[in-house]
Amino acid sequence: MIDRLRRNMDLGDGELAFLMETDERERDLFEAGDAVRRENYGVDVYIRGLIEFTNHCKNDCLYCGIRAGNSRAKRYRLDADRILACCGEGYELGFRTFVLQGGEDPHYTDGMICGIVSEIKRNHGDCAVTLSLGERSFESYRAFFESGADRYLLRHETASDEHYRRLHPRSMSPGSRKRCLWDLKEIGYQVGSGFMVGSPYQTTEDLVSDLRFLQELQPSMIGIGPYLTHKDTPFRDFPNGSLKVCLRLIAILRLMFPYALIPATTALGTIAPDGRELGLSVGANVVMPNLSPVAVRRLYGLYDNKICTGDEAAECRMCLQRRVEAAGYRIAIHRGDVKKAGPRGVAV
C-alpha 288/C-alpha 230 separation (Å) is: 21
All residues at 6 or more sequence positions from 155 whose CB lies less than 8 Å from its CB, including other chains: 192, 193, 194, 195, 196, 223
How far the first Cα of the chain sits from its last, in Å, is 28
- Segment interacting with ligand SAH (CB under 6 A) among 38-46, 153-161, 284-292, 325-333: 153-161
DSSP sequence for 303-334: STT-SSSSS-HHHHHHHHHHHHHHTT-EEE-S
Number of chain positions touching ligand SAH (CB under 6 A): 18
Three-class SS of residue 75?
coil
Residue of minimal CB distance from ligand SAH? 134
Q: Which of 130, 132, 220, 285 binds ligand SAH (CB under 6 A)?
A: 132
Question: Helices marked H in 159-200 — which ranges?
Answer: 161-167, 174-187
Minimum gap (Å) between residue 226 Cβ and ligand SAH: 7
Return the residue of 49, 134, 192, 301 that touches ligand SAH, per CB under 6 A: 134
Among 142, 168, 230, 254, binds ligand SAH (CB under 6 A): 230
228 binds ligand SAH (CB under 6 A): yes
Choice between 6 and 168, CB closer to ligand SAH = 168
Please give the order of strands across the beta sheet that includes 49-54: 49-54, 97-102, 128-132, 151-153, 190-197, 221-226
Query: Within positions 74 to 103, which residues make up the interface with ligand SAH, using CB under 6 A?
Result: 101, 103
| 196 part of the interface to ligand SAH, by CB under 6 A | yes
User: What's the min distance (Å) between Cβ of 311 and ligand SAH?
Assistant: 20
Binding region for ligand SAH (CB under 6 A): 63-64, 101, 103-104, 132, 134, 154-155, 157, 196, 225, 227-228, 230, 267, 302-303
